[in-house]
Homo-oligomer: A and B are copies of this chain.
Amino acid sequence: MGNGRKAIKRIGVLTGGGDAPGLNAVIRAVVKSAIREYGISVLGFLNGFGGLIKNQVRELTENDVAGILPRGGTILGTTNRDNPFHYPVDRSGERVFVDVSDRIFENTSIQEVDALVVIGGDGSLAIAKELYDKGLKLIGVPKTIDNDLHATDQTFGFDTALTTATEALDKLHTTAESHHRVMVLEVMGRNAGWIALHAGIAGGADVILIPEIPYNINCVAEKINYRSSHNKKFSIIVVAEGAKPMDGEVVIQRRVEESFDPIRLGGVGQVVAREIEEITGKESRVTVLGHLQRGGSPTAFDRILSTRYGTAAVNYLMEGRYGHMVCLRGTDIDTVPLEEAINGQRMVPLDSDLLKSARQLGISFGDTD
């Protein structure tokens, strides 16, 4: 830890990347414990790293964080853009990308911020790692509704997203059953299928399609027909937005266009529904949750996890454990070096206990297993 150890009198906090329920709970915990436990002040940087670059700040007092615990979103704003090491500027009418990270050091110096709490997903934490390497004292807090971060058992936001998806499945269930229909629910998960897998188990899905297991649409149809022949006239399918068919198995979209482009057709959920309808002759309907999964009041679980992360982040900062990310190990809060934390996404392991549990219940993953 090459960063000097002068006393911390003021810390900064920012939220980066996609919105996730619990961001406000972390901010609140950071502010309250900084002020009450250590008597130091807190400055919020606005809109992710953008605020650090543009010196957009707001002082955060206990009053500012009163009542935000149950609220979705982030009072600091957030964005997926504004990478200080790859920042877009217009030069002679052309957009080029430059390194503006020095501005961050200037701005933290101007604002007399001694250390930083960076709340974000893998993208934001990778930037944090680079800033730390350049000498900025900081600690990371893991956030992503996808739960696909290495080095922590759980990120905050995931439990709420999962709850939203499960409630959707509960609603679709009764209608599917009354109508003898196939209901398709498309959920988030571009690369990892955690939300689809968990929600599918919690919501009693019959088929779960995730990026980790390419699907064969005929296997899906077979499952639906098997149920029909066993007097289950309806089926529920959960599809992660990043689910992909096995090679040579795409039916409809091939006819329509050359390349597989689910967005063009309204998402992979639409594709699956149409193919199922075509193969099985059963009416199929699609619900696309979209950003619904990023919003709403965090669940009790996420509020507690966020609060623990927030207080721990301040404690570890005050101890000087810079360049780390707080994480959950079983029931305990711990830290892990940032470089470990950002080292690749966590996928659903094909031999995971949860996946086996799902198969044992008869859930199909659209493969031949």
Q: Which residues of A contact B (CB under 8 A)?
A: 15, 18-19, 23, 29, 32-33, 36-37, 47, 66-67, 69-74, 77-79, 153, 159, 162-166, 168, 170-181, 183, 198-199, 201-204, 232, 264-267, 270, 285-292, 294-297, 299-301, 303-304, 307-308, 311-312, 315, 329-333, 353-354, 356-357, 360-362
Contact = CB atoms under 8 A, between A and B. Distances in A.
Given A175-B19, A198-B300, A297-B170, A360 B288 contact: no
6 contacts: A66-B232, A175-B291, A201-B307, A203-B300, A287-B288, A308-B353
A69 B198 contact: no
Nearest to A287: B290
A292 B171 contact: yes
Contacts of A172: 291-292, 295
A54 to B, nearest CB: 14
A172 to B, nearest CB: 6
A360 B311 contact: yes
A292 B153 contact: no
A69 B204 contact: yes
A239 to B, nearest CB: 13
Given A288-B290, A292-B172, A299-B163, A312 B178 contact: no
A300 B199 contact: yes
A91 B47 CA distance: 57
Nearest to A199: B300
Given A23-B178, A285-B291, A300-B163, A357 B312 contact: yes
Given A171-B295, A291-B175, A311 B361 contact: yes
A355 to B, nearest CB: 11
A77 B180 CA distance: 8
B73 A304 contact: no
A290 B292 CA distance: 13
Given A69-B204, A77-B180, A178-B23, A288 B288 contact: yes
Contacts of A178: 15, 19, 23, 72-74, 77-78
